[in-house]
């Protein structure tokens, strides 16, 4: 393939590894673990992979000779910068163990395993994708590995290729599936190891032992660059309010990180809105008051950051969505084949009076999206709901009823943006290039250690890469039971923005100043070459969390 000058230079970049992974390693086991909640239920569901110890790797001065190993890798879910480096790290790691080791990539996600579609990833292929963005080396998909027939079908090709370990690179749902698959293969004595790798730009796959998911650093830097560009334009034209929706369905980490990097006039944090029990009208009033205050100072412009999943955190709408999910999930066969009008009639006939009132209060297109537009798993497709336009429209109505706003010469001209796909396949930042390579290389060490049901873990990430601490965390340690599509399911607990956490507290300390004054920061593009303080810094979220 043809490459730009930057791509050629990036191909030559050698990711940095923790010192412990630069040679043979030995396993240091910690204490047995337990799940984050619902311990008895998770233990009953995962009797063969529950209670495993944490693992830390240290240098081994008396290594045993390595043996060849065949490994399969799957990219699952949405793209995230650095995925290619995870695969490069696995490849280099297993080749370091033994030069005859082989790596097979299953095409277009978990479905490639089930349908036996794969390629062998050889050195020439791997070298084409080092330090590049995207998942195009093997593609990705959203098929869930949950059923026995999928496991058994995958086992056929695993045995045919002589694969003894499978690495699943994905978010919380994909790694939940990895845990289920590991338990099944262990229970049936297949000899197949399953290792997970923490990926999601949303930043909601993290905890005390998984400090961040890969891709978050790059994506937020890409979004912050563009937000900074918009703010520079905003401060130049001085006549527009920019409503910017950002990725992050289940948590507001992206919006919070971008706010810390750019200092907008308004940034909504979904978790705070839920905690304060704010209604949709409360949220609108909060924005409108800031617009009016700035207008009184002669500033008819500003920026508003909105998390993609905001609508699901507004309590009255969250209750409505919960009722809709339970109703439609419990009546799949009843509603199958219904026309839109029939389904609407069915829904209005079964919702609580409170939820019906909320549904009727929403714009017709938003109400329709909540009722009718569902993804294959039955979830509301919140990314399709134009929350930024919903809020700006309601703010405009409130300002029109505000006589003081007009009297002070207030003007409100909103523009709208949604930053999503722009950040998912960017060339990884140096941090993500290093982190992802280390995660993949570390996965090869977990494979060599013979463990299964573990997630690759690299810790101490605010330090230089050579000081990072590699190891493995039992996936069951992160799990709890949640209600999904009218059923109780074991899932990895999502990490939401902690309102008592350092990143949020830092934001909350400054936001009043940002709202009334113009304090914009313009971060500029990701830098790959230059001093470490410019090129190798982790996200501000990570810095504040581990100060």
Asked whether the beta carbons of 185 and 151 are under 8 A apart, the reply is yes
**Nearest C-alpha neighbor of 198 from the set 180, 216, 172:** 172
Per the rule left: phi > 0, alpha: psi between -120 and 50, beta: everything else, 500 is alpha
Q: Which residues contact 196 (CB under 8 A, 6 or more apart)?
A: 167, 168, 169, 170, 174, 175, 178, 179, 454, 455, 456, 475
Q: Which residues contact 499 (CB under 8 A, 6 or more apart)?
A: 269, 271, 272, 275
Q: How far apart are CA 456 and CA 479, in angstroms?
A: 16
DSSP string, 296-313: HTT---EEEEEETTGGGT
Joined tokens for residue 532: 């470490």
Q: How far apart are CA 222 and CA 228, in angstroms?
A: 10
Q: Which residues contact 546 (CB under 8 A, 6 or more apart)?
A: 211, 461, 462
- Please provide the distance, in angstroms rounded to a whole number, between the alpha carbons at the two ends of the chain: 43
* DSSP 8-state assignment for residue 421: G
SS (H, E, C) 174-192: HHHHHHHHHHHHHHCCCCC
Per DSSP, which regions of 77-224 are E strands? 102-106, 118-120, 165-170, 193-198
Phi, psi dihedral angles at 280 (to 5 degrees): -60, -40
Q: Which pairing describes strands 118-120 and 165-170: parallel, antiparallel, or unpaired?
A: unpaired
Q: How far apart are CA 244 and CA 293, in angstroms?
A: 20
The answer to whether the Cα torsion of 279, 277, 295, 228 is positive or negative is negative
The verdict on whether 149 is a catalytic residue reads no
Residue with tokens 């409100």: 412
Which of the following is catalytic: 92, 172, 173, 202? 202
* DSSP 8-state assignment for residue 238: -
Cα distances from 231 to residues 264, 267, 295, 520, in angstroms, run 8, 14, 17, 7
Q: How far apart are CA 449 and CA 474, in angstroms?
A: 14
3-state secondary structure of 401: coil
Cα distances from 537 to residues 319, 429, 492, 526, in angstroms, run 40, 9, 28, 11
Active site residues: 202
């Amino acid at each position: 393939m043809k490459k730009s000058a930057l791509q050629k230079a990036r191909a030559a970049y050698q990711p940095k590894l923790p010192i412990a992974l630069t040679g043979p390693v030995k396993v240091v086991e910690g204490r047995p673990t337990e799940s984050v909640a619902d311990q008895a239920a998770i233990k009953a569901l995962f009797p063969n992979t529950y209670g495993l110890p944490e693992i830390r790797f240290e240098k081994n001065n008396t290594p045993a000779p390595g043996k060849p190993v065949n490994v399969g890798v799957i990219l699952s879910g949405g793209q995230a910068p650095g995925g290619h480096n995870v695969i490069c790290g696995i490849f280099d790691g297993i080749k370091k163990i033994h030069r005859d080791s082989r790596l097979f990539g299953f095409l277009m996600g978990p479905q490639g395993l089930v349908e036996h579609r794969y390629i062998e990833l050889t050195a020439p292929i791997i070298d084409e994708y080092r330090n590049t963005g995207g998942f195009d080396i093997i593609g990705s998909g959203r098929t869930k590995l949950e059923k026995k027939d999928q496991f058994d079908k995958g086992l056929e090709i695993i045995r045919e290729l002589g694969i003894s370990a499978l690495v699943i690179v994905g978010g919380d749902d994909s790694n939940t599936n990895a845990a289920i698959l590991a338990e099944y293969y262990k229970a049936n004595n297949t000899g197949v190891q399953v290792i997970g790798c923490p990926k999601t730009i949303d930043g909601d796959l993290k905890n005390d032992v998984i400090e961040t998911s890969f891709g978050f650093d790059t994506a937020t830097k890409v979004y912050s660059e563009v937000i900074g560009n918009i703010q520079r334009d905003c401060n130049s034209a001085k006549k527009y309010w920019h409503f910017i929706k950002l990725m992050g369905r289940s948590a507001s980490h992206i919006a919070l990180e971008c706010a810390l990097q750019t200092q907008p006039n308004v940034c909504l944090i979904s978790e705070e809105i839920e905690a304060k029990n704010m209604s949709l009208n409360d949220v609108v009033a909060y924005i409108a008051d800031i617009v009016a205050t700035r207008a009184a100072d002669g500033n008819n412009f500003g920026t508003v950051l909105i998390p993609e999943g905001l609508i699901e955190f507004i309590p009255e709408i969250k209750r409505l969505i919960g009722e809709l999910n339970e109703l439609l999930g419990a009546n799949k066969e009843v509603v199958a084949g219904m026309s839109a009008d029939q389904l609407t009639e069915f829904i209005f006939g079964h919702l609580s009076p409170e939820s019906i009132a909320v549904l009727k209060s929403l714009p017709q297109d938003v109400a329709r999206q909540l009722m009718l537009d569902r993804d294959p798993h039955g979830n509301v497709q919140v990314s399709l709901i134009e929350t930024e336009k919903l809020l700006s429209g309601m703010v405009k109505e409130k300002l029109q009823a505000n006589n003081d706003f007009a009297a002070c010469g207030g003007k409100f001209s909103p523009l709208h943006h949604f930053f999503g796909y722009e950040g998912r396949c960017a060339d990884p930042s140096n941090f993500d290039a290093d982190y992802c390579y280390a995660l993949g290389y570390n996965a090869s060490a977990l494979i060599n250690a013979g463990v299964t049901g573990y997630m690759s873990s690299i810790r101490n990430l605010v330090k230089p890469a050579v000081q990072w601490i590699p190891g493995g965390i039992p996936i069951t340690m992160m799990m709890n039971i949640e209600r999904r599509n009218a059923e109780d399911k074991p899932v990895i607990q999502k990490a939401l923005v902690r309102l008592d956490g350092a990143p949020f507290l830092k934001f909350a300390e400054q936001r009043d100043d940002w709202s009334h004054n113009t304090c914009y920061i313009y971060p500029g593009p990701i830098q790959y070459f230059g001093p470490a303080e410019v090129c190798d810094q982790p996200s501000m979220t990570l810095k504040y969390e581990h100060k």
